[in-house]
Homo-oligomer: A and B are copies of this chain.
């Protein structure tokens, strides 16, 4: 079972690494990081380089496709190399998925026509112009169309646990959760706009504006 995780310039690392970590130990799973060409790809701040081991040309029929987000995603909404690859691999994938603003890329590829989808909280309105129907949810599953979208950044972990269950079985997926010791105990409860409140939202927006 090949799981392809897309990298592009100025992606958000946790969008990619959350699902990678959740799925990497599934029996038979091979994870491949893929981009326009082989080599290092940098996150939005430049602090972290991750290696794409394959180019799009070299990954022809992955079983699962995961498109992360990040401010860089906005630069790829007309990138035909990436969009055409997504259209092609989606024709045979078991699941084509996104985390965070990766949903904008799926939508730009025409994979979310008139479909409910979720994305990063600050980008929900951008989905409309790309033909999808923005939905405030942690996860939106269209199992019949083999499309799953997750909300921002850390939501990729929750999505991947659900994918693990579908791809194997509930007990195996639970074992993945245990192996990651994913028993969340955040010290605060500010993980959504509603919970964070206006003051924290304003701080986040200001930081996001400068740092992406």
Q: Is the CB of A50 within 8 A of B47?
A: no
B-side contacts of A190, CB under 8 Å: 174-175, 177-178
Which A20-41 residues sit within 8 Å CB-CB of chain B? 20-21, 24-25, 27, 30-33, 40
Q: What is the bound-complex CA distance between A17 and B21, given in angstroms?
A: 10
Which A27-65 residues sit within 8 Å CB-CB of chain B? 27, 30-33, 40, 43, 45, 47-51, 53
Q: Is A74 an interface residue (CB 8 A)?
A: no
B-side contacts of A165, CB under 8 Å: 187-188
Q: Is the CB of A200 within 8 A of B182?
A: no
Q: Is A193 an interface residue (CB 8 A)?
A: yes
Q: Is the CB of B48 within 8 A of A33?
A: yes
Q: What is the bound-complex CA distance between A171 and B187, given in angstroms?
A: 12
